[in-house]
Amino acid sequence: MTARAVVVGGGPAGLMAAEALAAAGVAVDLYDAMPSAGRKFLLAGKGGLNLTHSEPLRPFVGRYGAAGERVAMWLDAFGPQALREWAKGLGIATFVGTSGRVFPTDMKAAPLLRAWLHRLRAAGVRLHMRHRWLGWAAAGEGGARALRLASPSGEVVVPADAIVLALGGASWARLGSDGAWVPLLAERGVQVSALRPSNCGFDVARWSGHLRTKFAGAPLKNAALRCGDFAQRGEFVLTETGIEGSLVYAASATLREAIAAHGQAVAEIDLLPERSAEFVRAEVARPRGSRSMSTHLKSRLGLDGVKAALLHELLPRETFADAAALAAAIKALPITLVAARPIDEAISTAGGVRLDELDAHCMLERLPGVFCAGEMLDWEAPTGGYLLTASMASGLVAGRGAAAWLASTSPR
């Protein structure tokens, strides 16, 4: 009899696991709580689907921080170049942008997802939408690995010879990733690190009414951010409550952990990263005659608009009368952040199933035949293609692992 695998979760990790299982000759049923598969994938690609990144593999792996060693094992099976070849096999050509990020030539997620789902269905994968995992079936009901699912017609029990869980984290709950699976694994003794926001914005204690009214939503371009061991150039945006954007997302793990440890994180913003401290100090110290300091900074350093507003917001008035202190602040403007934005606003999540709960094939040591993949695992990465690449790679590893486990445990 053909072995039957159940995949729970229709995002990139789950779809990749289903593809690997089907390729191994396993009958696959995929269940997802949403009306259609890949909804978060589609929304993430709305402004241009960032598939992966073109940087060399060593720095690529370094983007995963403490989880890099485990993620490297996944990338050995399905790395950035393999992902591009996989997309090509679906008829989707890719290109490398000026930032090194890799995109489909048409920048869209929908054509890739349609081609992928078509290929999965052709391979025999059966997709069941609007089916939400409720937990484990009672002992003796449907076998050792039977699941309870809520379906449009009521609760059903689904038996399986192997299971791949790819249930996402807890961001963008409206698209299906709500973290509701955490207690379902905890009741079986699986250790799960608390889910936390990643690639997220942060709040300050308070912005003035002037800053909120005039500059909320304004981009701060060509800046640098330093906090702890993190130092990077880029851009970010002022919000009603704090800051967000690509540079802040890249620093989110450092900022989040500093807040957890100390109740706040103090980041330093370099408003003129292309200028040396000596140059800035000399320009600020030049005689300004009857001109205001604001006019002087605009004339000598091009500091105006949102950057000037941020200086006035964060510095005491007396600093503007001290050229040396003002120049130092322009190169290292301290901004105190007090909280990450709520997890449901985050692009992704940190935390999840602890990696030491899994074997090398992403199988839970405590639950033989049950595999986990994707964002529900305890790793995180910045935006730029790293999230999607590792999610898909872990799905492939879990799918192949489940297929191999089924082959090794099936009666001869």
pLDDT surpassing 80 at residue 268:
yes
Convert the pLDDT of each residue in 130-164 to its tens digit. Answer: 999 999 998 767 677 899 999 999 999 999 999 99
According to DSSP, the β-strands at 27-31 and 126-128 are parallel
Least confident of 11-15, 60-64, 174-178, 244-248: 174-178
| Rg value, the chain, Cα | 25
- At the top level of CATH, which class does the domain 4-197+351-409 belong to? alpha beta
Amino acid in position 384: G
By the 8 A CB rule, do 395 and 15 touch?
Answer: yes
What is the sign of the dihedral through the CA atoms of 257, 167, 162 and 192?
Answer: positive
Q: Using alpha carbons only, what angle is made at residue 256 by residues 252 and 258, rounded to the nearest 5 degrees?
A: 120
- β-partners of residue 232 are 225
pLDDT of residue 398: 98
pLDDT of residue 46: 79
Euclidean distance between CA atoms 103 and 84, whole angstroms: 9
pLDDT of residue 48: 86
Convert the pLDDT of each residue in 345-359 to its tens digit. Answer: 999 999 999 999 999
Number of residues assigned to the chain: 412
27: Cβ contacts below 8 Å, ≥ 6 apart: 2, 3, 4, 5, 124
Of the pLDDT bands very low, low, confident and very high (cuts 50, 70, 90), residue 375 is very high
By the 8 A CB rule, do 217 and 233 touch?
Answer: no
Query: Looking at residue 64, what DSSP letter applies?
Result: T
pLDDT of residue 25: 95
pLDDT of residue 206: 95
Residues of the chain with CATH 3.50.50.60: 4-197+351-409
Nearest alpha-carbon partner for 267 in 278, 276, 279, 259: 259
Euclidean distance between CA atoms 354 and 124, whole angstroms: 32
pLDDT surpassing 90 at residue 45:
no
pLDDT of residue 410: 73
Convert the pLDDT of each residue in 311-321 to its tens digit. Answer: 999 999 999 99
Nearest alpha-carbon partner for 296 in 331, 323, 271, 318: 323
Average pLDDT, the chain: 95
